[in-house]
């Protein structure tokens, strides 16, 4: 069957998406705009963190156990390393790790969901039963077991969490796919001779996008807290790497003498998770308004 040439009016230009995005941003309530601003700021800080750090996060920069001051905004730790530089560097691994696991979950889960949703039949049944089994297992507990078995490192931790993080997205994308494939625009695309890949990428996936982006943005904060908990237990990057959770755990012994050593990295996690929550809500509102 020959492909049908699309008939376009002379001078027709597809509507630009960027402009619509701008208009939507301006119509946003101030709180949501602040939340998205904070999201951008934190992401920027996480990307630039190590270059902004005034001192070497791994070696002594001043006196030990120095309380927060003008020179050392967050104080120094038991061996005189600058807490501000360590927290900035730690921000990067926590923030990027959370994004990485979400991306892996969306890709694996989304892939399985799209396959199950478009193929239907026994492939759908098998994939969804497997998903159900994984969905019935507790991710945090199993992640601890996996990392202990294969040995602690940041990569192993991310791998372990990602293994148990996709089923939710698989369910979500599959449900969305099932409702999209029977929609008139999909039928029209098939009748006009669009190939399988084109239908997938131009007509199906964009439709699943809003649901997935909302779920993922509301999920960021859960992941930050889980990764911080695993790092606190010693299941992330190994010492002396500046990781926020393990810094808190290591600083616990100084809690009553130098409170800033465990508190500052824990506060940084708190800020990350709060920004994740607020911007997740803002993104949901934005997508729901259309």
Partner 1 sequence: MIAFVLRRVVAMVVVLLVLAAIVFALQEISPVEPVRVKVGEAASKSVVEAERKRLGYDDPLPQRYLDYVEGAAQGNLQTSLRTRQPVASDIGHYLPASIELVLAALVIGVPLSLLFGIAGALRLRGSGVLRTVLFVLAAAPAFLLGIAGILIFYRDLHWLPASGRTSIINPPTGPTGLLVIDGLLRGEPNVTVNSLEHLVMPAFALALVPAVAVGRVLRGSLMANLRTEQVRAARARGLSRWRIVSRHGLRNAAGPTLAMGGLMFGVVFSGLTIVETVFAWPGIGLYVAQSIPKGDFPAIGGVTLLVGAAYVIINTTVDLLQGLADPRIRKDL
Q: Which residue lies nearer to partner 1 by CB, 180 or 226?
A: 226
Binding of residue 34 to partner 1 (CB under 8 A): no
CB 223 within 8 A of CB 102: yes
Selected from 40, 126, 150, 191, the binder of partner 1 by CB under 8 A is 150
Residue 147, beta-bridge partner list = none
Compare residues 118 and 273 and give the one whose CB is closer to partner 1.
273
Total number of residues that touch partner 1 (CB under 8 A): 43
CA distance 90 to 84: 10
Nearer to partner 1, 87 or 235 (CB): 235
Q: How crowded is residue 7: how many other Cβ atoms within 10 Å of its Cβ?
A: 6
Per-residue contact flags (x/-) with partner 1 for residues 193 to 232, judged by CB under 8 A: ----------------------------x---xx-xx--x
Binding partner 1 by CB under 8 A: which of 108, 115, 142, 213? 142
Residue 186 contacts partner 1 per CB under 8 A = no
CB of 145 to partner 1, least distance (A): 4
Residue 69 or 140 having the CB closest to partner 1: 140
Please provide the size of the chain in residues. Answer: 290
Q: Determine, following the binding rule CB under 8 A, whether residue 136 of this chain makes contact with partner 1.
A: yes
**Buried residues in 106-120 as b, exposed as e (16+ CB within 10 A):** bebbbebbbbbbbee
Q: How far apart are CA 239 and CA 241, in angstroms?
A: 5
249 preceded by a cis bond (ω within 30 of 0): no
Q: Single out the residue of 248, 258, 282, 283 in contact with partner 1 (rule: CB under 8 A).
A: 248
By the rule CB under 8 A, 158 interacts with partner 1? no
Q: How far is CA 25 from CA 31, 33, 175, 260, 283, in A?
A: 12, 7, 29, 38, 11
Which DSSP letter does residue 245 get?
A: H
Tokens 């969490």 locate to: 161
* SS3 category, 76: strand
**One residue of 207, 267, 285, 287 binding partner 1 per CB under 8 A:** 267
List contacts with partner 1 (CB under 8 A): 132-133, 136-142, 144-146, 148-152, 221, 225-226, 228-229, 232-235, 245, 248-249, 252, 255-256, 259, 262-263, 266-267, 269-270, 273-274, 276-277
């Amino acid at each position: 069957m020959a492909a049908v040439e699309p008939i376009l009016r002379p001078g027709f230009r597809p509507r630009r998406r960027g402009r619509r995005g701008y208009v939507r941003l301006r119509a946003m309530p101030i709180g949501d705009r602040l939340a998205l601003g904070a999201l951008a700021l934190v992401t920027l800080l996480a990307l630039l963190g190590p270059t902004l750090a005034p001192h070497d996060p791994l070696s002594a920069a001043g006196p030990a156990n120095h309380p927060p001051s003008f020179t050392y905004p967050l104080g120094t730790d038991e061996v005189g390393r600058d807490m501000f530089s360590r927290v900035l560097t730690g921000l990067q691994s926590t923030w990027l790790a959370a994004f990485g696991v979400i991306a892996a979950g969306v890709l694996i889960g989304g892939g399985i969901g799209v396959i199950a949703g478009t193929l239907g039949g026994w492939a759908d049944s098998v994939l969804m039963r497997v998903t159900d089994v994984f969905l019935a297992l507790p991710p945090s507990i199993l992640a601890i077991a996996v990392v202990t078995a294969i040995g602690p490192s940041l990569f192993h931790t991310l791998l372990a969490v990602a293994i148990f993080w996709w089923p939710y997205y698989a369910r979500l994308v599959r449900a969305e796919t099932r409702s999209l494939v029977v929609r008139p625009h999909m039928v029209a695309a098939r009748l006009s001779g669009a190939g399988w890949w084109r239908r997938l990428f131009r007509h199906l996936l964009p439709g699943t996008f809003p649901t997935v982006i909302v779920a993922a943005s509301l999920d960021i904060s859960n992941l930050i807290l889980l990764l911080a908990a695993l790092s606190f237990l010693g299941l992330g990057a190994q010492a002396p790497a500046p990781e926020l959770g393990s810094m808190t755990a290591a600083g616990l012994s100084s809690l009553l003498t130098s409170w800033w050593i465990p508190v500052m990295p824990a506060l940084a996690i708190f800020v990350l998770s709060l920004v994740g929550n607020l911007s997740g809500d803002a993104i949901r509102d934005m997508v729901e308004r259309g």
